[in-house]
Amino acid sequence: MITGIKGVRIRRAAAVVVTTGALVAGGALTTPAQAAAAPTVSAKGAFMLDSTTGSTLYSKYADTKRPMASTTKIMTARVVLAIPDVNLDTKVTIKQAYRDYVAAKGASSADLKTGDKVTVRQLLHAMMLPSGSDAAMALADKFGTGTTVAARTKNFIAKMNKKAEALGLTNTHFDSFDGNSTQNTNYTTPRDLARLTRSAMTFSTFAGIVKKPSTVQYAPTSTGGTRKYTWYNTNQLLGSYSGAIGVKTGTNTPSGPCLVFAATRNGKTVVGVLLNDTNRYTDAAKLMDYAFGSTTASTMQLRTLPAGAQRD
């Protein structure tokens, strides 16, 4: 039982209430080929699937609804990338409203500067690596419909829910574009989130972004100059666990530490979810070892983030 969160910086966020759902028994439901004992994880909810077949590899309270913090941004990216003929090189001018939102919520930030012209592709990097809520808001504002920022972002959130419905994610609902819940109704389940991620990873742009430990991007400023942005991926499994290819961290007060992870070894790809897990990286490694028949978790050394890099 998780009794507290140590060593994790918790961002201030709008309160999210855990929404109860149907419980399933903890532990593994499907044993991988190596028939090893299923690991025990600290997560309140966990799920892992084989990305090729969709078959369940591990399940713990997989259908219980829980808040998921910034892992919400997986859906934000999924909606953008599914827009027909979306031009990822379209430039978006950063508004002060995006910076104000981050400050008001105490949210993670890509530190996008007002007036800079950043491409949609760069915004996806800014959202998925340093978990920039400013970038998430910029994407929602760009691709939502309405006459104001508030109306456009609300419309975009409606598109997120429509996509969840289309994907059959019946235990998922969004009330925000970044996981900072506004109405206590931003939730998912480990199973739904894994299925969403499996879908998102079929987009080469998404898969290419989330596997990067860091990126350097350049954008024109409002005064005609050029700004250099350096963003580090908050997912410390990258560069730490052999074969790790993503995907997204998330942490806020109601959600606890969350992690969506993926890895490929010997042609086998797995996708997993840990919700409210104080040992998320170790537990992810244990689950992947279980799937791959390896013992990497016992010797894994986590990649350290530079001073000043976002933590999520």
Q: Which amino acid belongs to residue 196?
A: L
Q: Which of 304, 259, 252 is nearest to 285 (CA)?
A: 259
Catalytic residue among 60, 73, 248, 286: 73
Q: Which of 259, 261, 194 is nearest to 42 (CA)?
A: 259
- Assess whether 42 carries a catalytic annotation: no
Give CA–CA dist 83/76, Å, rounded. Answer: 11
Catalytic residue among 131, 133, 176, 199: 131
Residue 69 near residue 106 (C-beta atoms within 8 A): no
Q: Per-residue b/e over 45-74, b at no fewer than 16 CB within 10 Å?
A: bbbbbbbeeeebbbbbbbbbbbbbbbbbbb
Catalytic residue among 51, 70, 133, 240: 70
DSSP string, 15-41: --PPPP-----SS-SS--TT-PPPPP-
Q: Which amino acid belongs to residue 296?
A: T
- Assess whether 294 carries a catalytic annotation: no
Tokens at 222, concatenated:
């409002």
The single residue listed with the structure tokens 């379209």 is 90
- Assess whether 242 carries a catalytic annotation: no
∠279-254-271 over CA atoms, to 5°?
50
- Residues designated catalytic: 70, 73, 131
